[in-house]
Amino acid sequence: MESLKKKILEEGRVLDGDILKIDSFLNHMIDVNLTLEIGKEFKRRFGGTIDKILTVEASGIGAAIATSMEYNNVPVLFAKKVKCSLMADEVYASKEHSYTRGVDYVLQVSKNYLKEGERVLIIDDFLANGEAINALVDICRQAKAEIVGAGAVVCKTYQPGEKRILDQGVKVEVLARVKSLENGKVEFE
Amino acid sequence: MESLKKKILEEGRVLDGDILKIDSFLNHMIDVNLTLEIGKEFKRRFGGTIDKILTVEASGIGAAIATSMEYNNVPVLFAKKVKCSLMADEVYASKEHSYTRGVDYVLQVSKNYLKEGERVLIIDDFLANGEAINALVDICRQAKAEIVGAGAVVCKTYQPGEKRILDQGVKVEVLARVKSLENGKVEFE
């Protein structure tokens, strides 16, 4: 997606620890024009029909809503990130390790809102080690929902996340494929 | 806003501790149709022009994006909720006490994204004690931004939040005014 890659080159900053910071339009401030384009692009790539979009708070919500708008405003369900899980009966839960923050989270989704047989599209902002999307896939499998695919706005393709999701038989679509952040410079595939 | 009140009556649940849980369309799953209506309603009430919308992760983001779409897709800035603040030079920070969770958060906004003189509309999901919106007002004042107003999707009008924000000279608009949750029953003004 060229407009996205252009924006990343213009405004992204590469920080120590192999971090691509895109706070100015995705992770802190949201560029709504670009977000609506992102929704259209996910629809173009996945097509078909879906029943629900599953994402995770907070940075995935914008892209998820924009994608929903291309699919007749299907509901957007965002998993909650909690430090520890009560493992209550009424939630599906799956562990995620955040490499950026160096902590484990548990992603939780209420069983009321994810049902067997529902066609679910997973949307998130970043795919690097695949921890968050992997947890969302796990949650869908627990619910026996049908996973239509997983879309990430940005993927660091030199990290294992994409393969990890693909290996589970889930279709993956990525809008900006970053192959290197070496020497503080963003390079796309 | 009648469609919102109808939805709250149909799907809201009143929990112990004076909590109105509206997870099925606002705080966990997002009803995108209703959210787009909420954006239109905030535009109708505040009117005029704005430069930016300020909200707080995660539940405010949907309504904030929908409102932005009514204002030519102005940027949406969401404050990050952190348990403790590093009080770094590059952020505006303000403390919020969460009565629901019984903890203090610090809301943080990067100084890069909120500037003197910008016309800012504050949007959030709930207004009860006013802690979150009060912190957002404080952050705008630190940045010397101009506060156009503060919009809340739901307000518990028997709690002090609305008056607290009004007393600071900020215009407040609320889409569903809850006057009581007594005996597990939602009553509107």
Q: Is the ipTM of this complex over 0.85?
A: yes
For residue A29, give the chain B residue with the closest CA: B77
**Domain around A92:** 2-188
- Of the listed ranges A76-90, B73-87, B124-138, the least confidently predicted one is A76-90
Is residue B50's pLDDT more than 60?
yes
3-state secondary structure of A148: strand
Contact A58 B62 (CB under 8 A): no
The pLDDT score that the predictor gives to residue A102 is 82
The answer on pLDDT for B83 being more than 90 is no
**A29, A33, A77 ranked by CB distance to B113: nearest:** A29
Confirm or reject contact between B114 and chain A (CB < 8 A): no
* Amino acid A87: pLDDT: 54
Distance from CA of A74 to the nearest CA of B (A): 7
Q: Domains in chain B: how many in total?
A: 1
**What is the mean pLDDT, run by run of 10 residues, along chain A of 189 residues?**
98 92 95 98 98 97 98 97 70 88 89 97 97 97 98 98 98 98 96
Considering only CB atoms, which chain A residues are within 8 Å of B67?
none
A61: CATH: 3.40.50.2020
Report the distance separating Cα A27 and Cα A34, nearest Å: 13
Cα A54 to Cα B93: distance, rounded to the nearest angstrom: 31
Q: Is A112 in the B-facing interface, judged by CB distances under 8 Å?
A: yes
Residue of B nearest to A79 (CA): B28
Residue of chain A with shortest Cα separation from B27: A78
| Residue B151, number of CB atoms within 10 A of its CB | 29
The per-residue pLDDT for B87 is 54
B114 vs B140: CA distance, rounded Å:
8
Q: For strands A91-98 and A52-56, give the pairing.
A: unpaired
pLDDT of residue B100: 76
